[in-house]
Structures are given as structure tokens and as C-alpha cells.
Amino acid sequence: MRAIASEAGVDPALVHHYFGTKDDLFMAALQLPVDPRELLAPVIAGGKDDAAVGLLRTFLSVWDDPDNQLAFLSLFRSVLDPPGELLLSQGFVPVVLGPVGHALGIDHPEARMPVVASQMIGLIMCRYVLRLEPLASMDPETLVATYGPTIQRYLTGDLPFDS
């Protein structure tokens, strides 16, 4: 936050006053139409046993909303080119997904949540960017039924790095 304040030519206390934490500043900089941390709170409250279903339903409802789609597509495309990948690796995964894993109480969230992210990124690319059929027009509940078991295994199942 100090480096950002210095770059902006303001006192770090001013940045802290307006943005709170470093994570809040990151989310403000993304200029998303929704705060994913708020949207994922009910998923966390539902517990880890059905977290994949809640995560997918939340994810699809946000991405399928025409009012959100342009902003999310723009952000997604920006992470595909350097230095945009830092938004994902040093921003979204540790600021949004990492805390979800910790709050759910899953084992090895620092390893599991990037694996979950890889599945979600693939779904974004195929459904919303490339518009690959049948994924692009598939009913959200069919997608939840298709992807849910795999993502749930990533969250709570046995994985090679657990041993």
C-alpha cells in the first residue's frame, strides 16, 4: 500500500482510509460490477461438503448476467497477456479463492484452490470467450451437474499432494 501511495503521491494513510486493506484496494482496482467475496459468503456458510455446487451456481449466475459479462470478459482477457497474469496469480487466487478455501476448512487450500481456479478458467475460456458448443448454450444446472463432482473432488477429495 505504501508503494501505491508513493506512486500516487499521497500519504499511505489516505489510501488506507479510502480502501481499507490491501485486498480491498485490489478489488477496487478491478472495477468489477460485483464483489466476488460477498457473493461467495453463502457458499462458505453452506460448508465444504456442497461447496462446488454453490461455487458453480454463483459463478455461472454472475457470468451469465448480461450486465456483468462485458466487465468480466474484459478482465479475463487482460489476464491472458503479461503482466495481466499477475492479477490472477497474485490477486484473484490469493484474495478471493484462497480465503474461501481457508474459510471452508479444506486441507491444503493453498494447493487446492489454484486447481479449482484452473477448472473455472477453462470453463470461462470455453463458454464465454471461445463460445464452444455445447458449453456456450448449456443450461447452468447441466454445467453444475457436469463440473460439480470434479470441482468437489478438488476441494475435498483425495489428491496426490495430500499425502
Read off the pLDDT of residues 69-79 as tens digits, 9 standing for 90 and up: 888 898 888 87
Q: What is the dihedral of CA 67, 152, 76, 80, to 10 degrees?
A: -170
Burial of 1 (0-12, 13-18, 19+ CB in 10 A): middle
39-68 tens-digit pLDDT: 889 999 999 999 999 999 999 999 999 998
Distance CA 47, CA 60 (A): 19
CB atoms within 10 A of CB 73: 14
The pLDDT of residue 4 is: 59
The pLDDT of residue 54 is: 96
The pLDDT of residue 163 is: 52
8 A C-beta contact, residue 114 and residue 98? no
120-155 tens-digit pLDDT: 999 999 999 999 999 999 999 999 999 999 999 999
Bigger pLDDT: 83 or 16?
Answer: 83
User: Predicted confidence band at 18 (pLDDT cuts at 50, 70, 90)?
Assistant: low
The pLDDT of residue 74 is: 85
DSSP state, residue 89: I
Q: What is the average pLDDT across 13-42?
A: 68
Architecture of domain 33-158: Orthogonal Bundle (1.10)
Contacts of 152 (CB under 8 A, 6+ apart): 50, 51, 52, 53
81-93 tens-digit pLDDT: 887 777 777 777 8
Query: Where are the chain's structural domains?
Result: 1-30, 33-158
CA distances from 48 to 77, 105, 123 (A): 30, 7, 21
The residue with cell 470461462 is 124
